[in-house]
């Protein structure tokens, strides 16, 4: 099933074939037993491969000229699954020709194609998009869902928690990652009924010892980057709002900083002197070092690379895919779901959950 | 009705009576015709007033010893409205003894008390909490709702847009502020049905010329601080998530920056040299310079000061209250609502809105 081979959509993204191939070549330095199925225009791929001798003998090309554009509607994109580089890369995972697919194309189209082609795994109702964000600590925080589902009910959120914890265990080696639900306050009565219900289910499952995670209630969005929470679980709407707010705010502060440092000769000199320090900051915040969002809950691994990622960023996304294959993410999620009690996954709340829901005063 | 007098809850907040009084005294320098009703422990207020001669003759004290605590449930707090400094400050607005109230106490309790005591103004179903956030431009952006309502339907969002625009016109002097709805994408099909419905209503009202604002579709949360949007409209859940994510991320970056600048002697020296520049940044990001969130849509002005605001921050919140009184915010919102067509405020979508809603593919 899971060959150590990764299908790369060489045509998606804003940076073109060369960047995708260079990224794959960089990643192969860290994962030298992995091979690649490069999907896209044969001539352009071959030209790009000339610069990367380590890819020769490790790559097969699947020729195709058609590409999903950045603003293409998902509903339209899925009809072109058989003829586009994105569709063929995902299909390679379905057919077993690759264990994972990486694409820098249109997120909505990639999600729709992946769902349709790979289907959700047993026990999962909806897949979720998960990413790693930097924290003040040495480890990254896993956040999901980041936009695969506009809404999520309690059962979806419980499944996201299990999937996110499995991902966190793989990337951070935490035995029992600390999982919290994103909310607008930490008191039990805060937020939507779905959140309170999910919290009750996770608390109960945790007490019964059925979870390989430590569920610890709610977290507010100003604490996401603190590092105390290992997995932040939310619906796709709130997750997308929080993720982009974090990115936008970080850019806002660094833009102000740039303005400040260039506002006078004195500050320009100060900037030059402290450059090694600000370079460290830049490295820590560089989205390329956190690139690669994963669609969790599918029968196969699909990684979304940012459209504007550099070769280094693409390499990070390919490494994420390689790591998840090596560690057998899909099987681990299935095992964790099997350990979870029926109550936590029922469509209607159990006793504890319903009681919590109806106490909602505000 | 609206005396140029502001009721100050001198007991709420973490910083104590002295900070609240000092803040009021600072604000009075900018608004010297305003008077104050200082609500709280008489002895402590009198002691604090000794340092501020400009407050003498301009302040009346309303003695009360009881205070709402930071973690008190709103449902419990409203039962203590008649005996607490927060409750009495809000009540003074209701009774006409003050035109506005400022409190640094518990947000949920202040909201509940204000709603119960002042009631929503005609044409408004739910009040909203609005704040000013810094941008890359010279003006601040108005964002609402920030947590007064966990959910909002299309009709609520339209009302928030009208109220937010009135606020923006007052603080920024824009004739027709650019208003956008917070969403997870800018395409028409993105987001929840309520968002798409609200967008259709606002577009139609805008085309009919019934709005003193420029409605321009959706905005994503990474663009909030860019300054291109003057009013960002959202439900209280998403607004609270976005606001706290922005605050947390800004703190995260500045924490990393501090770590970087103190990591070596060289970078410490660079920091000292460029200090005037980083001080500018600090000033721009200092929450005290943006302090004072307003409950819009009530029969009276209530301003929430941050619990940990300094005297400078309290002064900012008091100045916000003074400005909104001077400019007659409540009446202006009422006038704007009257200009709005019936269709935009109906409970069921009009034709255009329903069509947009049902086309929702993803």
3-state secondary structure of A268: helix
CB contact under 8 A, B241 and A238: yes
Residue B62 has what pLDDT?
96
What is the CA angle A82-A88-A89, rounded to 5? 160
Residue A127 has what pLDDT?
94
Q: Strand pairing partners for B293?
A: B304
**The CATH number of domain A123-294+307-362 is 3.40.718.10:** yes
Residue B341 has what pLDDT?
65
DSSP string over B235-284: -HHHHHHHHHHHHHHHHHHHHHHHHHHTSSHHHHHHHHHTHHHHHHHHHH
CB contact under 8 A, A249 and B253: yes
pLDDT band at A239, cuts 50/70/90? very high
A1-118 adopts what CATH topology? Isopropylmalate Dehydrogenase (3.40.718)
What is the CA angle A74-A76-B221, rounded to 5? 30
From the list B71, B222, B274, the residue facing A248 with the nearest CB is B222
CB contact under 8 A, A222 and B251: yes
pLDDT band at A263, cuts 50/70/90? confident
pTM of the model: 0.89
Q: Tell me, what DSSP letter sits at residue A125?
A: S
Helix axes B154-172, B193-207, angle to 10 degrees: 60
- The model's pLDDT over A285-334, given as tens digits with 9 standing for 90+, comes to 888 888 999 999 999 999 999 988 999 999 999 999 999 999 988 888 88
Residue B348 has what pLDDT?
55
Chain B residue closest to A280 (CA)? B260
**Nearest-angstrom CA–CA distance, B80 and B110:** 12
**Residue A210 · residue A341 · CB < 8 Å:** yes
**Residue A86 · residue A103 · CB < 8 Å:** yes
CB contact under 8 A, A223 and B274: no
How many CB contacts within 8 angstroms connect chain A with chain B?
Answer: 213
**Nearest-angstrom CA–CA distance, A256 and B257:** 13
Q: Per-domain residue ranges for chain B?
A: 1-118, 123-290+327-362
CB contact under 8 A, B184 and A240: yes
pLDDT band at A202, cuts 50/70/90? very high
The token pair that represents B103 in the structure block:
């409190």
The token pair that represents B315 in the structure block:
């002064």
CB contact under 8 A, B249 and A253: yes
**Nearest-angstrom CA–CA distance, A47 and B34:** 75
Tell me the chain B residues in contact with residue A249 when contact means C-beta distances shorter than 8 Å: 225, 245-250, 253
The dihedral region occupied by B40, where left means phi > 0, alpha psi between -120 and 50, and beta the remainder, is: left
CB contact under 8 A, B263 and A280: yes
The nearest CA of chain B is from the CA of A247 a distance in Å of: 6
Tell me the chain B residues in contact with residue A225 when contact means C-beta distances shorter than 8 Å: 248-249, 252
- Choosing among 3.30.160.250, 3.40.47.10, 3.40.718.10, 1.10.3720.10, the CATH entry for B123-290+327-362 is 3.40.718.10
Size (chain B), residues: 362
**Nearest-angstrom CA–CA distance, B303 and B20:** 13
The token pair that represents A116 in the structure block:
């349709």
* Mutation choice for A interface testing from B141, B184, B307 by most A CBs within 10 A: B184
Q: In what order do the strands lie in the sheet with B301-304?
A: B59-63, B35-40, B5-9, B100-103, B301-304, B293-296, B128-133, B141-144, B231-233, B178-182, B214-219
**Nearest-angstrom CA–CA distance, A4 and A7:** 10
Residue A360 has what pLDDT?
32
Size (chain A), residues: 362
The nearest CA of chain A is from the CA of B316 a distance in Å of: 22
- B123-290+327-362 matches B1-118 in CATH topology: yes
Instruction: Name every residue whose Cβ is closer than 8 Å to that of residue B192 and which is 6 or more positions away in sequence.
Output: A150, A151, A237
Taking residue B52's Cβ as centre, other Cβ atoms within 10 Å add up to: 17
- Tens-level pLDDT at each residue, chain B (362 residues): 444 799 999 998 788 899 999 999 999 998 888 999 999 999 999 999 999 999 988 999 999 999 998 888 888 999 999 999 999 999 999 999 999 999 999 998 999 999 999 999 988 999 999 999 999 888 999 999 998 888 999 999 999 999 999 999 998 888 899 999 999 988 887 889 999 999 999 999 888 887 889 999 999 999 999 999 999 999 999 999 999 999 999 989 888 888 888 878 887 887 788 777 777 777 878 888 889 999 999 999 999 999 889 999 999 999 999 999 999 998 888 888 887 766 677 765 443 433 333 333 33
Taking residue B32's Cβ as centre, other Cβ atoms within 10 Å add up to: 10
Round the average pLDDT of chain A to a whole number and report it: 88
Residue A286 has what pLDDT?
82
Residue A337 has what pLDDT?
84
pLDDT band at A350, cuts 50/70/90? very low
Helix axes A311-326, A16-30, angle to 10 degrees: 50
**ipTM summary value:** 0.88
From the list A222, A250, A362, the residue facing B108 with the nearest CB is A362
| Integer angstrom CA distances of residue B54 from B26, B43, B61, B91, B315 | 9, 18, 15, 26, 14
Tell me the chain B residues in contact with residue A240 when contact means C-beta distances shorter than 8 Å: 184, 221
β-pair type (B128-133, B141-144): antiparallel
Q: In this structure, which long-range contacts are made by residues A281-287, counting pairs with CB atoms below 8 Å and at least 24 apart in sequence?
A: A281/B253, A281/B256, A281/B257, A281/B260, A284/A134, A284/B256, A285/A134, A285/A250, A285/A254, A285/B253, A285/B256, A287/A247, A287/A313
Q: Strand pairing partners for B143?
A: B131, B232
For chain B, the distance separating the N- and C-terminal CA atoms, rounded to the nearest angstrom, is 50
Residue A359 has what pLDDT?
32
From the list A221, A237, A247, the residue facing B192 with the nearest CB is A237
For chain A, the distance separating the N- and C-terminal CA atoms, rounded to the nearest angstrom, is 50
Q: Tell me, what DSSP letter sits at residue A70?
A: T
What burial letters (b/e) apply to B252-265, b meaning 16+ CB within 10 Å?
A: bbbebbeebbeeee
Residue B141 has what pLDDT?
95
Return the residue matching tokens 């937010």.
Answer: B164
Chain B residue closest to A275 (CA)? B267
- The model's pLDDT over A51-78, given as tens digits with 9 standing for 90+, comes to 999 898 899 999 999 999 888 888 899 9
DSSP string over B323-355: HHHHTTHHHHHHHHHHHS-HHHH-SS--HHHHH
């Amino acid at each position: 099933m899971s060959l150590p081979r990764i299908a790369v959509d060489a045509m998606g993204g804003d940076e073109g074939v060369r960047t995708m191939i260079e990224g794959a070549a960089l990643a192969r330095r860290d994962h030298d037993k992995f091979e690649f199925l490069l999907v896209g225009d044969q001539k352009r791929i071959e030209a790009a491969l000339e610069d990367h001798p380590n890819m020769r003998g490790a790559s097969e090309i699947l020729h195709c000229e058609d590409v999903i554009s950045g603003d293409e509607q998902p509903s339209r994109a899925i009809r072109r699954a058989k003829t586009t580089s994105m569709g063929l890369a995902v299909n390679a995972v379905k057919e077993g020709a690759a264990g994972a697919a990486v694409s820098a194309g249109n997120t909505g189209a990639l999600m729709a194609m992946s769902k349709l082609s790979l289907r959700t795994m047993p026990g999962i109702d909806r897949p979720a998009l998960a990413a790693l964000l930097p924290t003040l600590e040495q480890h990254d925080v896993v956040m999901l869902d980041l936009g695969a589902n506009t809404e999520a009910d309690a059962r979806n959120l419980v499944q996201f928690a299990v999937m996110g914890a499995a991902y966190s265990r793989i990337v951070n080696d935490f035995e029992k990652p600390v999982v919290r639900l994103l909310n607008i306050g930490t008191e039990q009565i805060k937020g939507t009924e779905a959140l309170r219900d999910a919290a009750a289910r996770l608390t109960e499952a945790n007490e019964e010892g059925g979870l390989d995670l430590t569920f610890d209630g709610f977290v507010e969005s100003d604490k996401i980057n603190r590092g105390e929470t290992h997995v932040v679980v939310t619906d796709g709407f709130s997750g997308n709002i929080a993720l982009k707010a974090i990115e936008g705010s970080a850019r806002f502060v660094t833009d102000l900083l740039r303005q400040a440092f260039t506002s006078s000769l004195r500050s320009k000199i100060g900037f030059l002197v402290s450059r090694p320090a600000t370079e460290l900051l830049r490295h820590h915040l560089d989205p390329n070092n956190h690139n690669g969002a994963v669609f969790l809950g599918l029968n196969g691994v699909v990684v979304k690379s940012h459209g504007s990622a550099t070769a280094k960023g693409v390499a990070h996304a390919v490494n994420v895919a390689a790591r998840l294959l090596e560690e057998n993410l899909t099987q681990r999620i299935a095992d964790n779901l099997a350990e979870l009690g029926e109550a936590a996954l029922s469509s209607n709340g159990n006793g504890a959950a319903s009681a919590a829901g109806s106490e909602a005063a505000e």
